[in-house]
Structure 1
Amino acid sequence: MRIAFRLLLLLTLAAGLFRAAEPPALLLPEEKHLTNARQLTFTGENAEAYFSADDRFLSFQSHEGRGACDQIYVMAADGSGRRLVSTGKGKTTCAYFFPNGKRLLYSSSHLASPDCPTPPDYSRGYVWPILAGYDIFTARPDGSDLRRLTHSPGYDAEATLSRDGKKIVFTSTRDADLDLYVMDSDGKNVRRLTRELGYDGGAFFSPDGKKIVYRAHHPTDPAEVADYQALLADGLLRPSRLEIWVMDADGANKRQVTANGAANFAPYWHPDGRRIIFGSNMLDPEGRNFDLYLIHQDGTGLERITYHPDFDGFPMFSHDGRRLVWASNRNQRQRGDTNIFLADWVE
């Protein structure tokens, strides 16, 4: 009897140790649209992960350590084979694969200065830097054959490609405001799409290339207009109020999708071309509790996707609609770490 008791005690302790060694759950029970989650990065700040057209690779931006700047990387969709694409100089953002997988599109400030730009002054509240030194480039996935596409003074960034690879949509200050433009994939035939005072950015083409989803804030109150213009003159943007919009690919038929007064950003089309996934702090407008939401392009059918009590953002569906990649603060090793996660999508 004593031997049996000791054996039971040992088994109980072993089970407890085994449970203690189990990795934490990456998904919450409420996150019913997500299953089989995998963490792809484990340290630093990693964001804006986007699939290649064949869904085998991801481009993303990453940095580690205070004072470091984002650089562009690619990795396999399972997180292996990470490699640097950008020059390692200046600051970079928004990498996107060409459809054939042989080149990437991204923005970089390295020609303006090889140094990492000074972080913005947050004494005026939380702001985004609008770097005048950003230009749009393409390169091979190994970083070679770097080609510059934009040459205008000011900010040229937030660029993505149409599914057929023929058009690039991007945000620019070339006309003294933050507007959306479209150009050919070689940088030619630039055409302005938005003219409303305020910020228009973070745009993506629909799967059929006929529509564009984007985030925007168009101030109308005189005090708010003055604040927007003063910040923009200093190369800054206050992103605390952004709404999701949709327009035709030629800039016609603009219509607002969300209207909750929060920071709604990083919209991306569901492969069905009817729904949009995006990040929002609509339940915590003054804080960083961002979650992912799904909505029909007419503004109906809002559904919450993630429930983690911190940041979830930058979602993208795989082209076949079977997986979702996004950035999150969940399971962070150090406070402030943002990592890339991949999960199977459940309708």
Structure 2
Amino acid sequence: MTLGGKFMRDINTVASSWLLVATLCAGAAGAIAAEPTNSPASPTEELRYPGEKHLTHLRQLTFGGQNAEAYFSFDGKELIFQSTRDDLKCDAIFRMDADGKNVRQVSSGKGVTTCSFIAPDDQAIIYASTHLAGDQCPPKPDYSQGYVWPLYEGYDIFRADPEGGNRVRLTDTPGYDAEGVYSPKGDKIIFTSARTGDLELFMMNPDGSEVEQLTDQPGYDGGAFFSRDGQWIVWRASRPEGKALADYQSLLKQGLIRPSQLEIFIMNLEERKPIQLTDNGAANFGPYWHPDGKHIIFSSNMHNPKGRNFDLFLINVDTREIEQITHHPDFDGFPMFSHDGKKLVFASNRNGKVEGETNVFMVDWRW
């Protein structure tokens, strides 16, 4: 769902950051970029910070540019991610082996893309793209109203072959459609859409049919992921009231959203009653279930809600106990556990060659 460069000097001011990009999945790409080398590093503990006890054999998979939202294939052998690199002016979708090798672009390079995911059977990929609205990258938003994310009307969700061929458009309603992910069985796709005049969660079949609305409260609902058993979802949401609601609705009419306060919610897909997990007034985003169904990892600036230091945190769904996982003094975000729970992939500013560079990292997870 949408971030880049050096991550927010102040969440209410303009910054070159992973929150500064085109969509709202877990994030998108920013502006500062170095020449990628695509040279995978050997496992090293030098990339870890004190206190990161759950992370072992930390290795860097991308080198230079803006790289984020890396998500595992179901078997854990590959990753799909978005990147601004080489001559690209905005994000395109790439695949690579889980060790960082065999990097290749699987989107057309036209428009801007975000929020990619691999089908559980590895026979298809999905991602959001604006290429039907134009070949060029959409313009950056106007920050005269403060720190905002753009919601490009040209975004639709597309399914393609594993290497990007035979693209099929799955959504065709006016306005923003993005942030799509497959269920573990591959029988459903959950996504965010502005089709009702608000930003709500929807679910559809893999061919785009039988669309049903899952949320209906005023505010942004997005960045959803299924639990390993497919029975629950987790997502981030805003629930503005009073002047904050008026501001949200005014920005939404302009295709913008202010992301300074987002809380983590879960919902059982049978009962469909949202349950709020966090209540800290910070920017909490990028939640993902651990396969045990008892823990959720997410990124947050809860220790400094006005600041740019985002770390990964783990919350126990039953007790609400929160544990800080990363301690890098800048940006860590977009976490995803492998489906066996043995590995964790995330994006970070750590070890960047230039300020604001964001790369993909892999660790072995230990309790």
Q: TM-score, normalised by structure 1?
A: 0.91
2:278 pairs with 1:258: yes
Could you tell me how far 1:67 is from its partner in structure 2? 8.1
Q: Out of 320, 324, 329, which is 1:300 matched to?
A: 320
Could you tell me the percent identity over the aligned residues? 57
Q: Which residue of 2 aligns with 1:203?
A: 224
Mapped to 2, the partners of 1:143 and 1:246 lie a distance apart of 32
Query: Which residue is 2:28 aligned to?
Result: none
Give distance in 2, aligned partners of 1:65 and 1:133. 24
Alignment equivalent of 1:315, drawn from 335, 338, 342: 335
* Structure number with bigger Rg: 1
What is the aligned partner in structure 2 of residue 3 from structure 1?
none
Summarize the alignment of residues 230-249 of structure 1 with structure 2, pairs less than 5 Å apart.
Answer: 230-249=250-269
Residue 106 of structure 1 and its aligned partner are, at CA, apart by: 0.6
Cα offset for 1:126? 1.5
- Determine if contact 1:167/1:184 at 8 Å carries over to the other structure: yes
1:120 to 141, 162, 170: 141
Q: Which runs of 5+ in 1 are unaligned?
A: 1-22
Which of the numbers 261, 281, 288 marks the counterpart of 1:268?
A: 288
Describe the superposition over 1:147-170 as per-residue Cα deviations: whole angstroms up to 9, x where unpaired: 111111110000011000000000
Would the aligned equivalents of 2:88 and 2:109 in 1 still touch at CA under 8 Å? Answer: no
Residue 167 (1) aligns with residue 188 (2): yes
1:123: Cα distance to partner? 2.3
Name the CA distance, whole Å, in 1 between partners of 2:319 and 2:144: 35
**Which of 42, 62, 68 lines up with 2:89 in the alignment?**
68
Letter in 1 for 2:280: N
CA–CA distance in structure 1, aligned partners of residues 47 and 135 of structure 2: 38
Of 148, 159, 175 in structure 2, the residue corresponding to residue 154 of structure 1 is: 175
Asked whether 1:98 is paired with 2:119, we answer yes
- The alpha carbon displacement at 1:101 in A equals 0.9
Provide the aligned length of Structure 1 versus Structure 2: 324
Q: Secondary structure at the match of 1:111?
A: helix
- From 22, 25, 33, the counterpart of 2:46: 25
2:243 aligned with 1:223: yes
Compute the displacement of 1:65 (Å).
Answer: 7.4
Report Cα offsets for 1:34-65 as digits up to 9, x if no partner: 01011000111100000000000000000037
Alpha-carbon distance in 1 for matches of 2:296, 2:168? 32
> Which letter maps to 1:92?
T
Distance 2:247 2:292 in 1: 39
Q: Distance in 2 between matches of 1:177 and 1:298?
A: 30
Look up the SS of the partner of 2:159 in the other structure: strand
Q: From 189, 198, 216, give the equivalent of 1:177.
A: 198
Aligned with 1:289 (options 306, 309, 314): 309
Task: Give the corresponding residue for 2:38.
Answer: none
Deviations 1:155-192 (A, max 9, x none): 00000110000000000001000000000111000000
Hey, which of these two has a bigger chunk of helix by percent? 1
SS in 1 for 2:131: coil
In the alignment, is residue 327 of structure 1 matched against residue 347 of structure 2? yes
Partner of 2:57: 36
**Residue type matched to 1:76 in 2?**
D
> Are the equivalent residues in 2 in contact too, given 1:74–1:141 (CA < 8 A)?
no
Cα RMSD, aligned residues only: 1.4
Q: Distance in 1 between matches of 2:138 and 2:107?
A: 16
Letter in 1 for 2:133: A
CA distance in 2, matches of 1:122, 1:335: 22
CA distance 1:139–1:251, shift in 2 (3 Å): farther
Deviation at 1:225, TM superposition (A): 1.1
Q: Secondary structure at the match of 1:28?
A: coil
Dislocated runs of 4+, deviation >2 Å: 64-67
What is the CA–CA distance in structure 2 between the aligned matches of 1:113 and 1:160, rounded to whole Å?
24
Structure 1 position 298, deviation (Å): 3.7
5+ residue gaps, structure 2, are 1-43
Q: Report the equivalent of 2:74.
A: 53
Q: Is the 8 A contact 1:24 1:331 kept in 2?
A: no
String of CA shifts for 1:98-156, please: whole Å, max 9, x gaps. 01112111100000111101111222221111111100001122211111111111100
**2:45–2:56 contact (8 Å) kept in structure 1:** no
The 2-side partners of 1:142 and 1:193 are apart by: 31
TM-score with structure 2 setting the length: 0.86
